[in-house]
Amino acid sequence: MKTRSWTKRSVALLLAAMLMVVGAFLPGFATQTEEELQAEMRQIEQRIQAQREVVAELRAQQASQEQLLPALDEEVQALEAMVAQLQQNLNSLNQSIAALNANIQRLNADITESERQIDALHEEAEARNEQIRELQQRLMERLRQQYMNGPVSNLQLLLSSSDLSSLLTVSDFIVRQAEADAWLRTGLEGEMARLRQLQEELREQQAVYEAQRLNLQRESATLVEEMLRQRDEQVRINSQVERLSATRAEIQGIIEGLQRNSTAAQEIIRREQQAYDEAQRQVNAIINQRMNAGELGGNVQNSGQMVWPFPHHGCRITSRFGASEPFRGGAVHRGVDISIANNWRTDWRVVAALCGVIADFGFNSSMGNYVVIYHGHFPPANGRIQTVYMHFHSFAPGMSRGMTVSAGQHIGMMGNTGHSTGPHLHFQVDLINANGSRTAVDPMRFVSGAPYLQR
């Protein structure tokens, strides 16, 4: 990331320096000669080409940075989905822990209740023990009295009765007393056994409750530990999301900086092109003056038919004169476009359609590499004409302004420079009016592609 930041700063400084250079190279052309203007145009062409290379490099860097964004966005989305899933897990764990705590509270209440019941049973058992002790004391007291009074049997008590009624009363008393003592002792012992059984059952139930509570507490501790682990994972992933978001913001900042730098470079190209167009306008004005004065092309003699400018079999016309050009906003086509059907090569030669003088050649953002040839008076056109050849791959060796070329002479190679949708030659014929303005006319009025055109 530091390298990208350094590239961003270095390109920005380079562009700032270029802007200052451009400001220094926006001259006034009023007092310059044609040769000085043409030299200046060549320098401008070089600077424009340098700026185009800067723009291409900036766009390549921008594309490289933009390619990083989808993967980052995908990773962030995946991490955010993980965070959302972790949050759902945490919510579920919280609910489970809350349910376990509720169960633990219920078991605590049950254990408390069982302890209360055990305490109550213990108190009741103590009361029964007290009754048994009292009964035992009465029996012991009776036995003690019998011992103190001597051994008196039930038979003696009966024999001591004065009458039958007394005998029956004593006998009934003895039986009832024995039965009452036996019943009371048996009842108390049974009640004690029942209380001991209830206590044992409550202790067993309490042990079950204690075991359940222990299991729930262990399970709750496990869930709490898992919840803390998932919270730590959530924090870790959120930190990763923040880091990736910061990286994305940095990349987006780099992209925006590259866009600004590209816009600045394009502004440089626009200003350079304005300077070039102004120089071109003044050169054309000088050439027009020379042509009007007979200083240029005075010895050029042209009559008859033009030579086909792309003498290669299998070529075809892909756009005719007057056709609408969608990629130029529907502008009317000012010439004809000639291309080769198959196996295009950079060595397909283009030739001059007529003898004439090289009035201009160079590079233009729209025309690409181009050549303009002045032909003087051309009877079939009933006036002076010039021919224009655009989108060259390269120029013929030794090309210079003012040099004379003959019909059919090699002037360049077909190419794909400037505003071009594919390798082709744009061939144009301009009629030069009396005031020096140009009017494009249909080239096919003066030239035939036979036998080269594909049928």
- Residue 260 is predicted with a pLDDT of 93
> What percent of the chain clears pLDDT 70, i.e. is strictly above it?
78
Write out the CATH class of domain 1-295. mainly alpha
Q: Where are the alpha helices (DSSP H) in 25-33?
A: none
Q: Who wins on pLDDT, 287 or 252?
A: 252
Closest CA to 314 of 279, 339, 283, 282: 339
Question: 88-97, 145-154, 201-210, 363-372 — which is least confidently predicted?
Answer: 145-154
Backbone φ and ψ of 451, nearest 5°: -95, 20
pLDDT at residue 15 is higher than 70 = no
Sign, CA dihedral 131-132-135-137, equals negative
Q: Is 322 helix (H, G, I), strand (E, B) or coil?
A: coil
Specify the fold of 298-445: Glucose Permease (Domain IIA) (2.70.70)
Mean pLDDT of 94-105: 86
The tokens for 179 are 């039965």
Mean pLDDT of 362-380: 89
Q: With contact defined as beta carbons under 8 Å apart, do 210 and 111 qualify?
A: yes
Q: With contact defined as beta carbons under 8 Å apart, do 287 and 374 qualify?
A: yes
How high does pLDDT run on average in the chain?
Answer: 80
Confidence of residue 159 (pLDDT cuts 50, 70, 90): low
Distance of CA 170 to the CA centre of its chain: 113
Closest CA to 48 of 255, 157, 56: 56
Confidence of residue 407 (pLDDT cuts 50, 70, 90): very high
- Residue 435 is predicted with a pLDDT of 78
Confidence of residue 63 (pLDDT cuts 50, 70, 90): very high
Where do the structural domains in the chain lie, given as residue ranges? Answer: 1-295, 298-445
Distance of CA 104 to the CA centre of its chain: 48
Q: Do domains 1-295 and 298-445 have the same CATH topology?
A: no
Direct distance between the N- and C-terminal alpha carbons of the chain, in angstroms, rounded to an integer: 58
pLDDT at residue 190 is higher than 60 = yes
Highest mean pLDDT among 10-24, 126-140, 402-416: 402-416
Question: 87-96, 156-165, 369-378 — which is least confidently predicted?
Answer: 156-165
Backbone φ and ψ of 157, nearest 5°: -65, -35
Cα gap 122→129, rounded to integer Å: 10
- Each residue's pLDDT tens digit, 288-318: 676 666 665 555 566 667 999 999 888 999 9
Question: 3-12, 121-130, 258-267, 427-436 — which is least confidently predicted?
Answer: 3-12
Cα gap 319→259, rounded to integer Å: 35
Q: With contact defined as beta carbons under 8 Å apart, do 156 and 171 qualify?
A: no
The tokens for 111 are 């254990």
- Identify the burial level of 27 via C-beta atoms within 10 angstroms of its C-beta, where 0-12 means exposed, 13-18 middle and 19 or more buried: middle
- Residue 153 is predicted with a pLDDT of 53
Q: Is this structure's pTM higher than 0.85?
A: no
